[in-house]
A and B are shown apart, each in its own frame.
Chain A
Amino acid sequence: MDLRYTEAEESFRAELRAWLDEALPKLPPKPDRNDWPGRRAYDTTWQRMLFDAGYAGIHWPVEAGGKGATPTEHLIFLEETERAGAPYVGANFVGLLHAGPTINAAGSEEQRRKYLPGILSGEDVWCQGFSEPGAGSDLASLRCRAVRDGDEYVINGSKIWTSHAEVADYCEMLVRTDQDAPKHKGITWLIVPMDTPGITIRPLETVMGTSEFAEVFFDDVRVPVANRVGDENDGWRVTMVTLSFERGTAFVSEVVASQRLLHELAELAKKVTRKDATAWDDVALRRELGHLTAEFEALWALTKWNVSEAARAGMPGVGGSVFKLRFSETKQKLYELAHRLLDRAALVVEDVAGLPSGDLMDERLSSLSYTIAAGTSQIQRNIVGERILGLPKER
């Protein structure tokens, strides 16, 4: 067990820090949360800066145009960019972390040439069409269908929870191409240009009152058969290939950000008063801050453990669900604590009386999704119970 970074890893970190110092001041101002074209422009500008500096697709293989970084270098990259306050992957998420790696692993040479460069340079933004109103945790029960008509597929149905749909160029989509096959065997993975006729986008309003994602409707949407990745009816396997790219780094930025927030909340606790003492003088509250310090320190250690395991094995270990379960619930507790600290200022989703209740309550509301998105905590517990502990499935 060695927690020391190698010389090569340290020089990677030093170079990255030097570049971040120079690059970040050149960024345009951050757009408003509801300004989707502005957000796309901001996120893709950052992606272009990474591309020009050779950091685009940090964890992608070199032959796909990436940097071919090791899992540990990827961890350092995410840690340092977050510490420096650099933009998050944002609108480039689906392209960089999902569609791109999938096309590289399961697509044709022509597809790789056509789609990968635009993802790396920030030219193209991708969205995801997997979930449906009737297919959430049970994704494989999806019903949006594609029927073959000569050299084209004709798509009919709807998708939901699609982030960046309004500003995306392409959609990675799972469609049903065989109605009669067992549910996992009749699915196909398609690339759908978002300007294809027949696509309607309806923003979904979240609990924050903002539209973080959309419903997307497909009415006789025609895409060439050449847009299929992998074989017809083999889309479930293609999707599983995507999951195999995870190297334990999925939550690095968020753990670093949570640790920073914890320090900010401690500062806030020392300022806000309760009767004649500060919140920090409240033993229960102070101990909760101490407890959360331990939680995030342990999650940071588990991140290094999982990344090291993936680096050794060349594939993800079983730790992803374990990590996600604890992290999502702990991060919710962090915002519950923020809420407690704000007291009645928590009733206002904007800064009030000199308190940062705007961002904190916005994030507090957003945090309700952590235990739902990307696999609910209940599904994660099934995965841990069945795949790690070997308990039988419920019949």
Chain B
Amino acid sequence: MDFQLSDDQRDLATGVREFCEGRFDRDRMRNLVDHDRKPGMVDKKLWQELAETGFFSLRVAEDEGGVGLGTAEAALVYEEAGRALLPGPLVATHLAASLGGELGAGAASGELIVGVVEGDASPILVEHLDALDVLLILDEDGIRKVAPADVAGTAVKNPVDPFTPLHHVEALPEGELVADAETAARFRREGAVLTAAVQLGIAGKLTELATQYAKEREQFGRIIGSFQAVKHLCADMLVRTEIARAAVYSAAVTLDDPVVGDAAVAVPTAKLMADDAATRNGKDATQVHGGMGFTWEVDVHLYLKRAWVHATQYGDADDNEEALAATL
């Protein structure tokens, strides 16, 4: 047993972090949300760069043109995506790349932007619809594919996360069955772990933002991070992040190597712990920033709002706690 990053995994995480800092730094992130909103909030040029870096083909076999890595590596990549607040249906497109055929190849290469929606959701809110080339519906029978143009929806005027535009849809079209129920279940498992990885990245970034502010801001003639009331908020954020990290990496390794654990426990654990870390760290980071935390200008709310979006994807807290209780 050696439950630590290998040298290759460390290099991968560092490389992706450098890529994100180079191509989607804070200025570009703020520019997208404050000045230059794209249809569906997907920057197609950036999307293509993500595809070339392997964001979508990461787990596609090498002889099929992919990178041939595992879920553990994908978790490290998606953690960095969360840290950088990369927008768009990244996990959905990554999952679609595993479907093979034209759809899979298109998703892997970045030519197709693919969204996912749960068929039995209520209300049905489709994310990034204006940017999508394909929408996949997950339901009991499997995965159905529909053309975004066939989705009759109304654009939501005030989505909580400005990076995640939503369409309210009364009824989804039937679509064409492209994968069986087993594949749909696999999508949910892998989607939960990779979304949990995104949340882990958000939780870690929020800890950094709060700690950084606590080291700079002075009141009563002191750095506020020296006050235990503030210090302990930051400490709790780190604890949540590290618990989530262990849970997310462990679930990812378990999906790659099922004999090492029980995916029925590991997957909902990862999602539950990471959702909890991201959303609660969002609240605490706001608190540490005081009045500034309540402003649009400070990034904390953008991370918190994204965390709220992810917390509803591939299983929310209700689903995960019930799923875990069922294992007892």
Whether, in the assembled complex, B232 has its beta carbon less than 8 Å from a beta carbon of chain A, the answer is yes
Which residues from chain B contact A6 at a C-beta distance below 8 Å?
Answer: 1
Closest to A389 in B: B211
| Chain B residues with CB below 8 A from A392, complex form | 215, 223, 225-226
**Beta-carbon contact of A1 and B325 below 8 Å:** no
Binds B, one of A161-169, A175-183, A225-233, A288-296: A288-296
Q: Are A4 and B320 in contact (CB under 8 A)?
A: no
Q: Could you say which of A2, A287, A325, A389 contacts B325, with CB atoms under 8 Å apart?
A: A287
Interface check A305, CB cutoff 8 A: yes
Interface string of B1-35 (1 = CB under 8 A from A): 11111100100000000000000000000000000
Within 8 A of A (CB), among B242-284: 242-247, 249-250, 252-254, 257, 259-261, 265-266, 268-269, 272-273
Question: Does residue B227 face the partner (Cβ distance < 8 Å to A)?
Answer: yes
How far does the Cβ of A53 sit from chain B's closest Cβ, in whole Å? Answer: 24
Q: How far is the CB of A324 from chain B (nearest CB, A)?
A: 10
A107 to B262, CA, bound (A): 46
- Other-chain contact of A293, B215, B225, B239, B269 (Cβ < 8 Å): B269
Is the CB of A199 closer than 8 A to any CB of chain B? no
Q: A297 near B243 (CB under 8 angstroms)?
A: no
Contacts of B207 in A (CB 8 A): 389
Instruction: Kindly state the separation between the CA atoms of A302 and B246 in the bound complex, as whole angstroms.
Output: 5
- B-chain residues with CB within 8 Å of residue A297 when the two chains form the complex: 247, 250, 265-266, 269
Cα A298 to Cα B273 with chains together (Å):
8
User: Do the beta carbons of B4 and A290 come within 8 Å of each other?
Assistant: no
Residues of A close to B214: CB separation below 8 A: 391
- The answer to whether A1 and B2 touch across the interface, beta carbons within 8 angstroms, is yes
Whether the pair B273, A294 counts as a contact (CB closer than 8 A) is yes
Which residue in chain B gives the minimum CB-CB distance to A289? B325
Is B327 interfacial (CB-CB < 8 Å)?
Answer: yes
The reply to whether the CB of B63 lies closer than 8 angstroms to some CB of chain A is no
- B260 in contact with A4 (CB, 8 Å): yes
- Asked if B236 is at the interface (CB within 8 A of a chain A CB), the reply is yes
**B3 and A291 within 8 A (CB):** no
Q: Look across to chain B and name the residue whose beta carbon is closest to the beta carbon of A296.
A: B269
Question: In the assembled complex, which residues on chain B have CB atoms less than 8 Å from the CB atom of A390?
Answer: 211, 215
Closest-by-CB residue of A relative to B72 is A1
A301 lies within 8 A of B268 (CB)? no
| Chain A-chain B contacts (Cβ-Cβ < 8 Å), number | 177
Please determine whether A298 and B244 come into contact, CB atoms closer than 8 angstroms.
yes
Please name the residue on chain B nearest to A386 by beta carbon: B231
In the complex, the chain A residue whose C-beta lies closest to that of B252 is: A1
Question: Is B121 interfacial (CB-CB < 8 Å)?
Answer: no
**Which of A128-136, A308-316, A335-343 contacts its partner?**
A308-316
B321 contacts partner chain A, Cβ-Cβ < 8 Å:
yes
A289, A295, A308, A309: the one contacting B328 at CB < 8 Å is A289
* Cβ contacts under 8 Å, B184 to chain A: none
CB-CB nearest in chain B for A329: B239
A395 within 8 A of B: yes
Interface centre among A293, A297, A326, A381 (most CB of B within 10 A): A297
What B residues does A2 contact at CB under 8 A? 1-3, 253
B247 & A262 in contact (Cβ 8 Å cutoff) = no
Q: Does A274 contact B (CB under 8 A)?
A: no
B238 on interface, CB distance cutoff 8 Å: yes
Chain A, residues 259-294, CB within 8 Å of chain B (1/0): the string is 000110010000000000000000000111111011
Q: Do residues A322 and B1 form an inter-chain contact, with CB atoms below 8 A?
A: no
- A344 CB–B CB distance under 8 Å: no
- Give the A-binding residues of B (Cβ under 8 A): 1-6, 9, 72, 207, 211, 214-215, 222-223, 225-228, 231-232, 234-236, 238-239, 242-247, 249-250, 252-254, 257, 259-261, 265-266, 268-269, 272-273, 318, 320-328
8 chain-A/chain-B pairs, Cβ below 8 angstroms: A4-B259, A293-B265, A297-B269, A299-B243, A304-B250, A307-B1, A391-B214, A394-B226
User: Could you list 10 further interchain pairs (A-B, Cβ under 8 angstroms) beyond the known A294-B247, A381-B228, A384-B235?
Assistant: A3-B1, A4-B260, A9-B1, A286-B321, A290-B268, A290-B324, A290-B326, A378-B232, A385-B232, A389-B207
